[in-house]
Amino acid sequence: MRSIGLMGGTFDPIHIAHLIMAEEVRAALNLSEMVFIPAAEPPHKAGRHKAAPHHRLAMVELAIASNPHFSISLVELDRPGPSYLVDTLRLLRKEWGTDVELSFVIGWDSLEDFPDWYQPAEILAQLKRLVVVRRPGYEENPAYDQQLEARLPGLQQKVCQIPFPQLDISSTDIRRRIAEHRPIKYQVPEAVEEYILTHNLYQTVTESQ
Ligand SMILES: Nc1ncnc2c1ncn2[C@@H]1O[C@H](COP(=O)(O)OP(=O)(O)OP(=O)(O)O)[C@@H](O)[C@H]1O
Ligand SMILES: O=C(O)c1ccc[n+]([C@@H]2O[C@H](COP(=O)([O-])O)[C@@H](O)[C@H]2O)c1
């Protein structure tokens, strides 16, 4: 059976924490492939200024080019409206069939919101695992795990935590750094930095590119 990792994100822009977490999860779970899914309209970031989808996609393409296990799905960019994961999983199942195990990768911050996602129980039913990596600012807390489980019964059974060196890197901080003319070197792959400079992305914090 194919065992596929799914790395969803706004990727505005993609940064090295995304790449490192995807590779760590892939290796730890022995997944045959990791598919990056850039979101068209991330449901909880609606109305927020974002770089145009073609720029975000181009940066993901550049970032993953050197990893033969990484690929991209346009399943979210190709459809209008909010990029609900439950719809994405249904479409991927149509494309890949039922004989695949799907593991969706998120950071701790996303786990906190997960019970409020659209049809979260159905998402869990579609997934083999919800793989979670630690993120600075989001500490482990068993009491909190119980609260999450109360909000969405069955969640903990699907959650799989992968050891991960905590990396205090975010797209928000990268966008801010660019607007303030501070370095982003080593926080994004070189080709992504060049792309950002060439296309004048993120010159102001709120600019819609
Ligand atoms: N440094 C990090 N450590 C762990 N998980 C991360 C990290 N950065 C991003 N992620 C996770 O990667 C997924 C996609 O993230 P996203 O593209 O929104 O990047 P972001 O840095 O969180 O962006 P923004 O700062 O714009 O909200 C989310 O599940 C998020 O939790
Ligand atoms: O389906 C939902 O309701 C839902 C709500 C919030 C986030 N997501 C997905 O979670 C992934 C990470 O989101 P983000 O905004 O942190 O990049 C991305 O693939 C989003 O489309 C999905």
pLDDT tens for 17-50 read 999 999 999 999 999 999 999 999 999 887 788 9
- Quote the pLDDT of residue 207: 44
Interval 170-184 mean pLDDT? 97
Ligand nearest to the backbone CA of 88: 2
ipTM of this predicted structure: 0.98
- 88: CATH: 3.40.50.620
Measured CA to CA, the distance from residue 41 to residue 81 in angstroms comes to 6
Domain membership of residue 43 (yes or no) is yes
- Quote the pLDDT of residue 206: 62
The whole domain housing 143 covers 2-170
Query: Nearest CA to 17 among 100, 106, 77, 91?
Result: 106
State which of 6, 7, 10 you would mutate to test the pocket of ligand 2, scoring each by most atoms of that ligand within 8 A of its C-beta.
Answer: 10
- Quote the pLDDT of residue 138: 79
Domain membership of residue 13 (yes or no) is yes
Considering only CA atoms, which residue is closest to atom 29 of ligand 1?
106
pTM of the full predicted structure?
0.96
Indicate the number of domains in the chain: 1
Domain membership of residue 199 (yes or no) is no
State which of 74, 83, 92, 102 you would mutate to test the pocket of ligand 2, scoring each by most atoms of that ligand within 8 A of its C-beta.
Answer: 83
Domain membership of residue 135 (yes or no) is yes
Domain membership of residue 191 (yes or no) is no
